[in-house]
Structure 1
Amino acid sequence: MSVKHAISRGLELGRSIFQLGVLKAGSRVAAKLRADRVRAGPAFRTAQPQAFLPLRYRYYRTSLRGLAAQLQWAGFVRRFAGGSPRNRAVFLAFGLGVGLIEKQIEDDRLSLATCNEIKAVFRKKKFQSPLKPLAYGYKLEDYIVGNQIGKGSNAAVYEAAPQFFCSKKSDGEPAAVQIRDSEGEEGNRVMPSLSCCSLRNFPLAIKMLWNFGAGSSNEAIFRSMSHELVPTDPLALAPAKQQLTLDGNFGVVPRRVSAHPNVIRVYRAFTADVPLLPGAQDEYPDVLPARLNPSGLGNNRTLFLVMKNYPFSLRQYLQVCTPSRKQRSVMVLQLLEGVDHLCKQGVAHRDLKSDNVLLEFDSDGCPRLVITDFGCCLAESEQSLQLPFNSQWVDRGGNASLMAPEVASAVPGRRVVIDYSKADAWAVGAISYEIFGEPNPFYHAVGLHSISYQEKQLPILHSSAPADVQLVIRLLLRRSPTKRPSARVAANMLHLTLWGQRILDKQGNAGMRKLAEWLLCQSAVVLLKGCSGPAGNRVEAELQRNFLRNLELEELRTAMGFLIYGRNQHTARIPSA
């Protein structure tokens, strides 16, 4: 065996022995510690890099560089103490192999410390809604209710304003707001859009739930419709009702999610007698109580939710507007950010579709999306995104067309559990087709079914969709949830695509140190732009702050790996000239 061959074998042996014997054990311990921290739920993580090896590997943990130096020195000493040249070469090369990975480990530690420091800086400032908090409004009489702006399967939504807010006519009646009804293609009626005048006069929206079987007591109504309260503000309920036991559909208290720019915020929730609102007799006569419609089936009281008034739903917006290429990518990213926020707080929406996404515009005209309608959500504090599916009567959620494969194909049985941790991310992948101007492949126009479709049957997106975004969408629509990226990883991929092209192009020659430097530059740019004022309220600024607030080194590395692999595959398919 030549000396060159012996050295190469020693380097390979040193690297493999260390990785299999030390790093593998360390990764198991790190995963266990990470899981313990998730279960314990600490309020703050230190910004210092954590030791990733157990106590019995203290020597390796504290002085890996020293270990390499001692091995190399021992190999050098053996040169004069006897022994075959081959054994001395292998022993020396083993020391060199251990020393070579010291730089990689040190880069990882520095990157981890950088991510934690950046995350700590941006988590200090919580998201604040641009709408000023209400100090009143716990009764329906506190609002002026305008025209109907939406209707679903379980509620009607009306524009509203505080009593003192709307301008008055001379006769004391609220100012009339004209809402135009338009006819869509093939004679289909399109939901009227709100004019600027309407939004100025009615900045709020009131959602009136339909009450069929909950009775008319406040406690029964709150218990039956408690999932609608998941996105409520801490002061949404009147002080006298804050201690109500909200049992939910499964007998446990549902979670409440914190404020997020891409999740609807409910400012007030109260019960009241069902009024005769505009269009009620024509739009939903059967759900009215008998005192308003003798043939009605509804109860006298129901739940009302007060939230911000948005001019469009996502479906309405895509029917009348054509967003730019970058805006489409930003819209998909916002949905992933909202889904990731819900998943981290133990909530699965389970009814995500373009009708349940509302939309407004920032100062630059970029659409800002919010996820709404939590009536079908899974939010039980004890379930943790997993639902026991022991009977066919267990509710899987709404909108069967956009139900993830692992949910739609589940068969009830003993100890069967449906995992919803990646189900909403799959729905975002399907909605992305609509955002990029294509028919949703899981609606009747294309005819794919989430139970039986094959990934190769998915339509190819229009060329207006960037290649990296198409990769993200295809990954989100993978049938197996184990092969599907989480909402956080998919969001990181889009962040890197939108603002990190330079680091992606250099990743073949750059390591984690270059990534840490890029993160520091991004943090400086976001901080210089400011976190408040007109620039801080833009959609892109909010997304960049969310990205830096949720930095996790492993998730970022996984996202980068997906992108680099996808680019290499795309390059391999292009024939050479």
Structure 2
Amino acid sequence: MAVRQALGRGLQLGRALLLRFTAKSSQACCWRRPEWPGPAAGWGRGQRPGQAPGPGAEPRRFGLRLPDRYRFFRQSVAGLAARLQRQFLGRARGGAGPCGRAVFLAFGMGLGLIEEKQAESRRVASACQEIQAIFTQKSKLLPDPLATRRCQGFRLEEYLIGQSIGKGCSAAVYEAAMPTSPQNLQVAKSGGLLPARGPDVVPRGEEEQAPPAPAFPLAIKMMWNISAGSSSEAIFSTMSQELVPASRAALAGEYGAVSYRRSKGGPKQLAPHPNIIRVIRAFTSAVPLLPGALVDYPDVLPPRLHPEGLGHGRTLFLVMKNYPCTLRQYLHTNTPSPRLASIMTLQLLEGVDHLVQQGVAHRDLKSDNILVEMDADGCPWLVISDFGCCLADEHIGLQLPFPSWYVDRGGNGCLMAPEVSTACPGPRAVIDYSKADAWAVGALAYEIFGLSNPFYGQGRAHLESRSYQEAQLPALPESAPSDTRHLVRALLQRDAGKVQLSPGVAGRSKLKLPFLLQRPSARVAANVLHLSLWGEHILALKNLKLDRMVGWLLQQSAATLLADRLMEKSCVETKMKMLFLANLECETLCQAALLLCSWRAAP
């Protein structure tokens, strides 16, 4: 205890002296004259720094002229510590007083400890950067189905159109395929389902001689064009938000590249990510009469197809990978285990973090806009889709000016974060979307863990994002991991800049861990689940040290590289570990670890 108090006193003295070293020459505490007494000469006993020494005061024996050595002190803390220690030895040999030697020793030890801590942090940051560089190159995206046909796929006539997959408020989605396989070529030659033909126009008797159904690896999304006009440039400009997840090859068609580049104030182009949908082709074409169009959406058809239709004759088509089902459909027939549910929530956080890093806010996260496919082991892989309501402006980023109620705040009002739903317009009002999608993931976690979403429906159990209180949030099942339960409640805090902690933890955290008083970002939340799933033995240590954390990261890196190399198709857990290591940052990782430790230390 005495050693700890001495070191603490040394750090306090070191901080005080450093503040005086870095003070401006115009301030009262200027170290130009060696006659001023130091702390050992009785500061605070009727004599202030900068005041002339009294008649019996002993002149200060060491004088560091800051203006001459300011650059040296600023450049190297370690050099300053070493210099003070050398001066301490010199003063000790020269017969300096014990108080002066104690000050020099405490100050040198304090600065030495500070430098050692900084060196350790630099080593950890360097290791994280090296691991991140390796896995950034190793991260594999899903293969592009049309990668070998860069000049094809920009006309609707090149696709076989199947049955309807679903429809929303602004588009309809259909199965699609390129007629390249022998089976599909047979269908095309025999007059199968082509863009100009659907069940409404199939002649009688053809059903009996119907060819075998082709495989449909693609999906075509036909936007409903009511107000965009019929020119390709106007269509691309009005529906540009749909092109945010488009690849470069998707915009290289006859109209796409020219129209998209000419559009003023176009949105950002999102970098690829495994948990984000990828648009592989985008083009405009005449609106065809697709299967079920006259029943599902007759009002948005052009007058040439439906006399009472209000749509234009041309619209935007987006080609994507065809996924088996949505998250809502998957959860309707499947009940994932608690561990699998945590991994599914983690995938959504990884996708949202990628959006935030790119300066994009989805603003319409819901289970219908999340697609699911299964890996070889039957584990679901989640993909965020439907960017029609996203915020992806190059100029404003995630800070949306809100001068009036006419500003679009996004879709899906039920899962709109409190800071968005309660925003009031004004001359300088701004809506911050940096943590809005992470809040929506917290609400979706209830559905993933088998409960009803508390922000849907009616009745006592129904909550509204603009008025609910944290105490009203229902608890996740007891089978859910404790860390995940804490994380979901943290993500659903009303105030994006505050997280409620227990009194004991909050008292310890106000000075040391200020980030604990904020709603965690998507990156920190994802790291929390990564550590909870795969770093249990690290978190079990009472003294969590950075060196041990680096050792664990190196072990995870080696195991992940080996698993990815041995298996032809990586499982979901291996893919998630690769994403974690590809986005590795020392600061956010330490925040996640300390956040977990604070939850586990709470009574």
Structure 1 411/77 Cα, relative in aligned 2: closer, same or farther at 3 Å? same
Q: Distance in 2 between matches of 1:529 and 1:21?
A: 55
Q: Which stretch of the first structure deviates more once superposed, 539-548 or 392-401? A: 539-548
Match of 2:10 in 1: 11
Whether the 8 Å contact between 1:223 and 1:247 is mirrored in structure 2 is no
State the alpha-carbon separation in 1 of the partners of residues 275 and 314 from structure 2.
Answer: 31
The Cα offsets for residues 103-149 of structure 1, whole Å up to 9 and x where unpaired, read as 22221111011011111222234543234334111111111111111
1:329 aligns with 2:342: yes
The equivalent position to 2:157 in structure 1, one of 112, 124, 141, is: 141
| SS of residue in 2 equivalent to 1:236 | helix
Aligned counterpart for 2:250 among listed residues 236, 245, 251: 236
The Cα offsets for residues 309-359 of structure 1, whole Å up to 9 and x where unpaired, read as 111100110010011222111111111111111111111111011100000
Partners of 2:288 and 2:145 in 1: CA distance: 27
Deviations 1:436-462 (A, max 9, x none): 111111112522111111112111100
| 8 Å contact from structure 1 (residues 238, 270) kept in 2 | no
Q: For residues 170-209 of structure 1, what are the structure 2 equivalents within 5 Å?
A: 172-174=190-192, 201-209=215-223
CA 1:93–1:326: 2 relative to 1, 3 Å: same
Whether contact under 8 Å (1:6, 1:86) holds in the other structure is: no
Q: Which residue of 2 aligns with 1:490?
A: 525
Q: Is the 8 A contact 2:398 2:434 kept in 1?
A: yes
2:437 to 420, 424, 449: 424
The corresponding residue for 2:561 is 527
Describe the shift of the 1:19–1:418 C-alpha distance in structure 2 as closer, same or farther (beyond 3 A): farther
Q: Aligned in 2, Cα 1:394/1:540: closer, same or farther, shift over 3 Å?
A: same
Q: Structure 1 residues 22 and 220, CA, compared in 2 at 3 Å: closer, same or farther? A: farther
What is the SS of the residue equivalent to 1:374? coil
In the alignment, what sits opposite 1:559?
A: 592
Aligned to 1:156: 172
In the TM superposition, what are the counterparts of 1:320-399 in structure 2 within 5 Å? 320-399=333-412
Match of 1:221 in 2: 235
1:174 Cα offset (Å): 3.9
Partner SS state of residue 250, structure 2: coil
Tell me the alpha carbon deviations over residues 222-244 of structure 1, each in whole angstroms, 9 at most, x when there is no partner: 11111111111111134432443
The alignment status of 1:403 with 2:403, answered yes or no, reads no
C-alpha contact (below 8 Å) 2:389/2:411 kept by paired residues: yes
The unaligned stretches of length 5 or more in structure 1 are 25-54, 177-196, 573-577
Describe how 1:285-296 pairs up with structure 2 within 5 A: 285-296=298-309
Q: Tell me if 1:548 matches 2:548.
A: no
Q: Deviations over 1:168-222 (max 9, x none)?
A: 469924499xxxxxxxxxxxxxxxxxxxx98x71111111111111111111111
Partner of 2:42: none
Partner of 1:97: 110
Q: From 474, 477, 487, give the equivalent of 2:492.
A: 477
Check whether the contact 2:226–2:310 (CA below 8 A) recurs between aligned residues.
yes
* 1:499 to 2:534 alignment: yes
Q: Pick closer, same or farther for the CA change 1:268–1:383 going to 2, 3 Å.
A: same
Counterpart-to-counterpart distance in 1, 2:337 and 2:561: 27
Structure 1 position 539 matched with structure 2 position 537: no
Residue aligned with 1:232, SS: coil
The match for 2:544 is: 510
Query: By how many angstroms is 1:530 displaced?
Result: 2.8
Assess, with a 3 A threshold, how the Cα gap between structure 1 residues 4 and 148 changes in structure 2: closer, same or farther.
closer
- Distance in 1 of aligned mates of 2:372 and 2:5: 65
Q: CA deviation digits over 1:57-115, x for unaligned, max 9?
A: 75456654443344344445444544553443343222222222332222111101101
Q: Does 1:259 align with 2:258?
A: no
The Cα offsets for residues 469-525 of structure 1, whole Å up to 9 and x where unpaired, read as 11211111111222211111111111111111121112x323111111211221111
1:468 corresponds in structure 2 to 483
SS in structure 2 opposite 1:303? strand
Q: 1:532 to 1:247 in 2, by over 3 A?
A: farther
Equivalent position amino acid for 2:432 in 1? D
Deviates more, 1:79-88 or 1:275-284: 79-88
Whether the 8 Å CA contact 1:7–1:90 is kept in 2: the answer is no
SS of equivalent residue, structure 1 residue 266: coil
Counterpart AA for 1:91: F
**What stretches of structure 2 of length at least 5 have no aligned partner?**
24-67, 195-211, 498-517
Equivalent residues of 1:376, 1:398 under 8 A apart: yes
Q: Is the 8 A contact 1:138 1:237 kept in 2?
A: no
Q: Is 1:447 matched up with 2:482?
A: no
Match of 1:120 in 2: 133
The whole-number CA distance in structure 2 between the counterparts of 1:170 and 1:378 is 40
Superposed CA RMSD:
2.9
Q: CA deviation at 1:21?
A: 7.9
Provide the rounded CA distance (Å) in 2 between the counterparts of 1:260 and 1:566: 31
Letter in 1 for 2:568: P
Structure 2: how far apart are the matches of 1:504 and 1:142? 55
Please report how far the alpha carbon of residue 151 of structure 1 lies from its aligned counterpart in structure 2 after TM superposition.
1.0
Structure 2 distance, partners of 1:439, 1:317, is 15
Whether the 8 Å CA contact 2:232–2:255 is kept in 1: the answer is: no
Distance 1:560 1:170 in 2: 57
Q: In structure 2, do the counterparts of structure 1 residues 455 and 5 end up closer, same or farther at CA, with 3 Å as the change threshold?
A: closer
The residue type equivalent to 2:178 in the other structure is P
SS of 1:270's partner is: strand
TM-score normalised over the length of structure 2? 0.79
Q: Distance in 2 between the 1:240 and 1:57 partners?
A: 63
Q: Which has the larger radius of gyration?
A: 2
Paired residues, number: 515
Instruction: State the TM-score, normalized to the length of structure 1.
Output: 0.83
Provide closer, same or farther for how the CA distance between residues 6 and 274 of structure 1 changes in structure 2, counting only shifts above 3 A.
Answer: closer
Q: Deviations over 1:15-65 (max 9, x none)?
A: 6448878999xxxxxxxxxxxxxxxxxxxxxxxxxxxxxx98754566544
Paired residue for 2:46? none
Q: How far apart in 1 are the matches of 2:396 and 2:143?
A: 33
* Other structure's SS at 2:318 match: strand
The whole-number CA distance in structure 2 between the counterparts of 1:353 and 1:20 is 52
